[in-house]
Amino acid sequence: MAATRKEIIIAPKALEMMEAAHPTGAEREALLQVVRELATDVSRAYRILFVYPPTYRIDVGRFRIHFRLDDTHVRVGFIGVY
């Protein structure tokens, strides 16, 4: 776990894409839990190759979350299925 907690910023478009996939209540809860964990621990995520700036992905059931990191923020740009 990281020593400091990062602020999580979720793009409005990411929430729209998530809603378009019609998540169940259990999927919503799982997504919320994983996004909260990203504030302190990104060890389960892996880097998407050949993308700059560095972008990371974490899978939550059928959903994928793409995000970028800096010293103080986790910026979520995609929550959806593909």
Q: pLDDT tens for residues 18-71?
A: 999 999 999 999 999 999 999 999 889 999 999 999 999 999 999 999 999 998
Domain that holds residue 56: 7-80
Residue 2 inside a domain? The answer is: no
Burial of 50 (0-12, 13-18, 19+ CB in 10 A): exposed
Query: Which pLDDT value is given to residue 1?
Result: 47
Of 70, 66, 62, give the one whose Cα is nearest residue 78: 66
Q: How far apart are the first and last CA of the chain?
A: 29
Cα distance between residue 46 and residue 60, in whole Å = 13
61: left (phi over 0), alpha (psi -120 to 50) or beta: left
76, pLDDT greater than 60? yes
Query: Which pLDDT value is given to residue 18?
Result: 96
CATH of the domain at 66: 3.30.2310.20
Residue 1 inside a domain? The answer is: no
6, pLDDT greater than 70? yes
Residue 20 inside a domain? The answer is: yes
Query: Which pLDDT value is given to residue 4?
Result: 82
